[in-house]
Amino acid sequence: MLLATCLLGACATQPYQAKPIAPEQAAQQWRERSLQSLLLLAYMAGQGYAENQLPLKEWGLPDLTMAAFFFHPDLELVRAQWQATQAAQTTAAQKPNPTLNTSAEHHSKAPGVSPWTLSVALGFTLEASGKREARMEQAASLSEAARLDSGQTAWQIRSRLRLRLLDYYATLRRIELLQKEIAVRTEIVGLLEARLGAGLISDVDVSNTRLQLQKTQAVLDAETSRIPELQAALAAAVGLPAAALATTKLLLAPLDRTMAAEQLPAAEIQRAALLNRLDIRAALARYSAAEAKLKLEIAKQRPDIALGPGYSFDQGDNRWSLGLSLALAWLNKNEGPIAEAQAQREVEARQFKALQARVIGEQEQGLVRYLASLDELAKAGKLRQAVAAKAALIEKQFDAGYSDRVEFAGTRLESISAEQAVFDARIRAQRALGALEDAVQQPLDGSAPLPELSAVRDSAP
C-alpha cells in the first residue's frame, strides 16, 4: 500500500521545465519587429480589419494603437502579472491534502510473539466553514483588480501614443508654415535690398528684415532637427524600433478634428468618468478583496479539525485508533489579524473616495480647459478671417497699382502668421482634448473604442 501511494504521488508530479532568457535573441527579435509582421496582420484581422485592406497603406491613431497592443512590452508585463493572479485563484481553491504517517518497531524476541510493531495513520484536515470561500473571493477580487490594471496600462499606452503622434504632426505642420514664412521674408529682403541699392531706404531697415529672416531660419532648422527624435519616440510608443516607422505613411489629418462644446455635455462626461475609469473599477475590486480578507480572518476564529484514523499491528495485536485535534482559542481569538483586516478595508475605502474625488476634479478641469481652448481657437479663426479680408483688399489695390510689392508681401506674411496662430490654438485644443480623454479614459474624437481586455495579445515575438 505504501509503495502504491508513493508511485501514485510520483505520477502526479509536474516536471520542471527550464526557460532561460537569451538577451541577444531578445534584442534581435526587437530589431525585427515591423508593421508588416504577418502575426500582427493576423491579429488585426481578428480584431475586425478586412483582410483585403491588410497591410494598411496609411496608419492612423486607431491602427497604431492596435499595433501597440500587439507589441508594447509594458502591456506584456501587466498581462503576465494578471496571469499570476489567475494562478493564485487556483491556489486559493485548493483543499488541504491528507497526510500519511507510518512507523515500524522491532522488539526483542519472545517465544510465540511477533517482534514487530507496525502502524499506519491517515490525517484529514477539515477546514472551518467559510475559510476556503473567503480565500477564493479574495483571490478573484485581486485577479479582477490586476485585469483592470492591465486595461489601465493599455489606456496609458494609447494616451502616450496619441501625444507622440500629435507632437510629430505638429512639428511637420509647423515646418511647412515656417518654410512659407521664410519664402515670403526672403522675397521681402530682396525687394528691400533693391530699394537700398536705389537709395530709397536705409541699411537699418534691410538689416532688421534680414535678421528676422535669420531667426526664422534658425527656428526652422531646430524644428527640422527634431524629426528623427520624434520618429523614434513615436516608434517606442508603439513598441517598435525606430527604423520600423521610417517608410510608414501616417494618417495625420484626423488630428485636426475637434469636438464642439455641445458634443461634450458636462453631465455625460462626468458619468463616463465615474463609470468608465479603469482605476476606479480596480479600486472597487481591491476593496472587495479587503472585505474578503476580513471574512477570512473572522472565519479563522473557528479552528480547523484534524482527524487521524489509524491502525497498528502491535506484536500480534491488531489495534484501531481515531485521533482528533484542534487549536483552542484560549490565548487569543485572532483579534490582531481581524483588526489589521478591518484597518486595511478602511484604507481601501478611503483610497477609493480620494480617487473618486480626484477623478471628478480632473474631469471638470479637463472639460473647462478644453472649452477654453475652443474659445481660443475661435478667436484665432476670427483674426485669420480679418487678416484674410485685409490681404484680399491689398491684393486688389496691388493689382490696381495702388500698393507696392513690399506691402503686398507684408500682408501675405500677416496671413501666414495668422495661420500659425490658428494652428497653434488647434494643437493646444488637441492636447486639452487628450487630457479630457485621459480623465474619462474613453476616446472622444469619434474614433473606435479600445478593444476588450481579453482581446489584447498576451505577448508578441
| pLDDT surpasses 80 at 193 | yes
Identity of the residue numbered 85: T
- Counting every residue written for the chain, the total comes to 461
- Which of these ranges, 221-225, 275-279, 449-453, has the smallest mean pLDDT? 449-453
Nearest by Cα to 433 from 377, 381, 378, 373: 373
- Which of these ranges, 35-44, 48-57, 109-118, 164-173, has the smallest mean pLDDT? 109-118
Q: Which residue has the higher pLDDT, 461 or 254?
A: 254
CB 250 within 8 A of CB 63: no
Q: Write the burial class of residue 186 (CB in 10 Å: 0-12 exposed, 13-18 middle, 19+ buried).
A: middle
pLDDT band (50, 70, 90) for residue 459: very low
CB 121 within 8 A of CB 323: yes
Identity of the residue numbered 437: E
> Span 335-353, mean pLDDT?
95
What is the CA angle 127-1-90, rounded to 5?
A: 35
457: DSSP letter: -
| pLDDT surpasses 60 at 167 | yes
Residue with cell 496619441: 162
**Residue 148, SS3 per DSSP:** helix
Q: What is the CATH number of domain 60-447?
A: 1.20.1600.10
Q: Write the burial class of residue 359 (CB in 10 Å: 0-12 exposed, 13-18 middle, 19+ buried).
A: buried
CB 250 within 8 A of CB 165: yes
**pLDDT tens figures, 3-19:** 555 545 555 577 888 88
pLDDT band (50, 70, 90) for residue 160: very high
Residue 353's CB: how many other CB atoms inside 10 A? 11
Question: Rounded to whole angstroms, what are the CA distances from 32 to 38, 66, 70, 341?
Answer: 12, 18, 14, 49
Q: In angstroms, rounded to a whole number, what is the distance separating the alpha carbons of residues 181 and 209?
A: 13
| pLDDT surpasses 90 at 140 | yes
Identity of the residue numbered 345: R
> Span 440-445, mean pLDDT?
84
Please give the grid coordinates belonging to residue 235: 516608434
CB 255 within 8 A of CB 64: no
**pLDDT tens figures, 243-260:** 888 888 999 988 888 888
Beta-carbon contacts of residue 77 (< 8 Å; ≥ 6 apart): 153
**Residue 121, SS3 per DSSP:** strand
Nearest by Cα to 346 from 297, 278, 291, 280: 291
> Span 322-346, mean pLDDT?
89
Note the Cα 31 to chain centre separation in Å: 23
Highest mean pLDDT among 41-45, 113-117, 259-263, 343-347: 343-347
pLDDT band (50, 70, 90) for residue 205: confident
> Span 60-81, mean pLDDT?
91
> Span 214-233, mean pLDDT?
95
**pLDDT tens figures, 362-393:** 999 999 999 999 999 999 999 999 999 988 88
Q: In angstroms, rounded to a whole number, what is the distance separating the alpha carbons of residues 168 and 174?
A: 10
Q: What is the pLDDT of residue 165?
A: 96
Q: What is the pLDDT of residue 18?
A: 87
250: DSSP letter: B
Q: What is the pLDDT of residue 284?
A: 94
pTM of the model: 0.84
Please give the grid coordinates belonging to residue 439: 480623465
Q: What is the pLDDT of residue 26?
A: 82
Q: In angstroms, rounded to a whole number, what is the distance separating the alpha carbons of residues 123 and 97?
A: 9
What is the overall mean pLDDT for the chain?
87
> Span 84-104, mean pLDDT?
89
Domain boundaries, the chain: 60-447
Question: Rounded to whole angstroms, what are the CA distances from 366 to 178, 266, 321, 356, 401?
Answer: 31, 11, 74, 15, 52
Pairing of strands 305-314, 317-326: antiparallel
Rounded to whole angstroms, the maximal C-alpha distance in the chain is 143
**Residue 312, SS3 per DSSP:** strand
Q: In angstroms, rounded to a whole number, what is the distance separating the alpha carbons of residues 276 and 334?
A: 39
| pLDDT surpasses 90 at 432 | yes
What is the end-to-end Cα distance of the chain in Å, rounded?
49
**pLDDT tens figures, 104-129:** 888 776 677 778 888 888 888 888 88
Percent of the chain at pLDDT exceeding 90: 48
> Span 414-425, mean pLDDT?
94
Q: What is the pLDDT of residue 175?
A: 96
Q: Write the burial class of residue 342 (CB in 10 Å: 0-12 exposed, 13-18 middle, 19+ buried).
A: middle
Q: What is the pLDDT of residue 454?
A: 47
Q: What is the pLDDT of residue 3?
A: 52
Q: What is the pLDDT of residue 435?
A: 93
pLDDT band (50, 70, 90) for residue 195: confident
Q: In angstroms, rounded to a whole number, what is the distance separating the alpha carbons of residues 259 and 433?
A: 8
